[in-house]
Amino acid sequence: MSSAVRTQPPSAGATTVLSALLEARTGQQLAANRTWRLEAALGPLLAELALPHADALVARLLDGQDHRIGDRIVDVLLNHETSFFRDAGVIESAVEAVRAAVPLGTRPRIWCAACATGQEPLSLAMLFAEDGGTAPDILATDVSASAIARARSGSYSQFEIQRGLPIRRMMRWFESDGGDWIANKALLSAVSYRRHNLATDPVPGRYDLILCRNVLFYLTPVVRQIVLERLAQALKPGALLLLGAGETVIGQSELLRPSTAHRGFYERVATGAAGL
């Protein structure tokens, strides 16, 4: 018989509070059919804090004594799923599109929004370095402080490194450190990391390429429109936006449209056509 101790499922009241916290901090909705994630996601935090169940965690949140508890709850509720060269063909197309659009000798500016633990921006950095052109300025951001800390470290487990990263690239760009793999200095220095909330923070600049993949479908409709408006404002003329495979701007924003030159990408609507 297993000795594992299951945590008590959150009560309806606790679920409401936790869902409201996530939405208030990030704009993300915990849909009714996904509340089952609460128990699994909160388990390690409950064990660390020696709390018997989610209702006790909510009580600690509401008493206001632990000022970090809200951030810690949000961190574990966020989906940090990512991997190296996820949808590799799309990433390669993004690099090719940027090279075609940005004049030779000009440093491309790229924003990886919601970068989680950093595999996506590092994948881009490898591709740009390997093609021999001008190195891009890559900014990677995420709402999660713990995810950004992990990304900055450049440290990945054997499991993480094997997900999508070819052996030749692993040997070129990473160094073994016991059971983990650490991105070498050349690769780490190619990306800047910053904590950033897509729903509330001003855009960090203007870019030739923005990647914001697999985020929009977690957001409330209102926040989704706000985020798309900000992403549009952050695109330079002629720049491209890349969303997740199941995401679209169609019916979501008047400021963006499918790219006329690059299938699967989006671009700003011309100034005057949508008030930009």
Q: How far apart are the first and last CA of the chain?
A: 63
Query: For the chain, which residues make up each domain, given as ranges?
Result: 12-77, 88-151+186-268
Q: Residue 86: its pLDDT value, please?
A: 95
How many CA within 13 A on the CB side of residue 232?
Answer: 23
* CATH top-level class of 88-151+186-268: alpha beta
**Residue 170 near residue 147 (C-beta atoms within 8 A):** no
Q: Residue 6: its pLDDT value, please?
A: 53
Tens digits of residue pLDDT in 58-87: 999 999 888 899 999 999 999 889 999 999
Residue ranges of E strands in 124-179: 137-142, 155-157, 174-177
Q: What is the dihedral of CA 141, 142, 144, 146, to 10 degrees?
A: -50
Q: Could you tell me the pTM of the whole model?
A: 0.89
Tens digits of residue pLDDT in 172-230: 999 999 889 999 999 999 999 999 999 999 999 999 999 999 999 899 999 999 999 99
Handedness of CA 98, 101, 107, 109 (dihedral sign): negative
pLDDT band at 95 (very low <50, low <70, confident <90, very high): very high
- Report whether pLDDT(241) > 90: yes
Phi, psi (rounded to 5 degrees) for 48? -60, -40
Tens digits of residue pLDDT in 7-20: 678 889 999 999 99
Locate 231 and state its tokens. Answer: 């992403």
